[in-house]
Structure 1
Amino acid sequence: MDQVRVAAWASDPIALTGLINHLQSRPELLVLPRARRGEAAVLVFAVGEVDREAVAALRAAAAESPAAIVLVAGHVDPAHVGLLAECHVSAVLPRTALDRLTANVLAAARGRTSPLREQVEALAGEGGGAALTPREVDVLRLMAEGWDTAEIAGKLCYSERTVKNVIYAMTNRLNLRNRPHAVAYAVRAGVI
């Protein structure tokens, strides 16, 4: 069996490390280093949302290589479908669906993906309420480091009440039982 050559890009180093580790765990994929990204059959991009930085990176990758791109995102505006298509994006997945990533990478390598608009609309329906805000991600990262509420508040220049409200809103919205469950969710989603 030939391995599919894949390269990874993420909006932050922690997400990139998690993404690379996930891709390397799959025997059907060969993860290439950044210097050899132009040789990849598929590029996997992980972003919280499609913002200026993500668009610039997608455009640079599309200019560098004709490879198909699998975009893993917390949020994608349906208005960006045309832009994504121009950048060779062939598949869009929510950050919480890493279990489907390999299948989508293989499908993209073979040119067999569903229409991009349908994928973006599915992401909006599936992950719209589950996407974590940057504030929630900051709090989760510090919680994962073992910081308590007062320490998190001091580090982020928030009040303790604000930190508690962020945690409460997030755990309620995502149906998480407690703080450790929230951290585990964020790790599985590839956010921290």
Structure 2
Amino acid sequence: MRDEGVAAGQDGTAPRRPVRVVLVDDQPLMTAGIRMILETDPGIRVVATAADGASGVAEARRTHPDLVCMDVEMPGVDGLEATRRLTSDPGLRCAVLMLTTFQREEYLVASLRAGACGYLLKNTPPERLIAAVHSAAAGDALVAPELTGALIRRALSGQAPSGDAAEPSLAAGPDDPVEVSPGVELTPRETDVLRLMAEGLSNGEIAARMVVGRATVKTHVSNVLMKLGVRDRVQAVVWAHRHGLAR
């Protein structure tokens, strides 16, 4: 195993520790391909691999990674049960990102309920997969764009829309709160961030779109979650669709 050095920051001045990843997949060629993609980024280090859920949990407990990339269907202990074991283990603080070929709503919902921070398909472009690993390790929640609609439909099933959301006033400053729903006020910048979250963008992608720093976006996201009274990004996206803020 290579030494645990640090990767240079994007500005070349602030070294940071690479994101430590464990890959869990029962297909050796798939594992090798994903590893090759991730390790093209000096900010990612694959510290272990495993071919089933039980081994994946054992490797995570041994290496204490930042992130586990987990397949869903595997022999023995599957990815869902392994995810439950990882996220309920008080000795671990790793995030779990499901990475699978199955574009199935029931697997998505079960994964999120098991504690996974996201669900991506294996046909995700390499650059987006790398960005997703960084985002998931930083605490973002991610859902494959192909499945976002299904998740929203499930969340909104049987619930009538609560009415059109107000558009931010053109006269409002970037930090002036605007009522976007009864009892909920967001600044225009926070509203923009919420709309981009609803498009499935990560913090890094939102930062690039808005031409601001990633730390600024992270602050806006935290404020949005607090003001909406929701637990995570997935619930915020559901809220945005329910209240007419998603484009």
Tell me the TM-score normalized by structure 2. Answer: 0.41
- How many residue pairs are counted as aligned between the two chains? 122
Gaps of 5+ in 1: 125-192
- What is the CA-CA distance between 1:52 and the residue it aligns to? 7.2
Give the structure 1 partner of residue 7 of structure 2.
none
Query: Which has more radius of gyration?
Result: 2
Using the alignment, how far apart are the partners of 2:97 and 2:68 within structure 1?
A: 6
Tell me the TM-score normalized by structure 1. Answer: 0.51
Equivalent in 125, 131, 148 of residue 103 of structure 1: 131
Using the alignment, how far apart are the partners of 2:81 and 2:146 within structure 1?
A: 19
Q: How does 1:76-115 map to 2 (within 5 A)?
A: 76-99=103-126, 100-114=128-142
1:33 partner SS:
strand
Contact 2:21-2:48 at 8 Å conserved across structures = no
2:83 maps to a residue whose letter is L
Give the structure 2 partner of residue 177 of structure 1.
none
Using the alignment, how far apart are the partners of 1:85 and 1:66 within structure 2?
A: 16
2:40 corresponds to 1:25: yes
Contact 2:108-2:119 at 8 Å conserved across structures = no
Using the alignment, how far apart are the partners of 2:149 and 2:31 within structure 1?
A: 21
- Percent of counterpart pairs with the same letter? 18
Structure number with the bigger relative contact order (C-alpha 8 A, sep ≥ 6) is 1
Gaps of 5+ in 2: 1-14, 50-57, 151-247
- Deviations 1:46-90 (CA, angstroms, capped at 9, x unpaired): 4579x9733233334334533211222211422334421233311
- What is the CA-CA distance between 1:25 and the residue it aligns to? 2.2
User: Cα RMSD between the aligned structures?
Assistant: 3.2
- What is the CA-CA distance between 1:8 and the residue it aligns to? 0.7
Bigger share in helix: 1
Using the alignment, how far apart are the partners of 1:30 and 1:123 within structure 2?
A: 32
Give the structure 2 partner of residue 37 of structure 1.
60
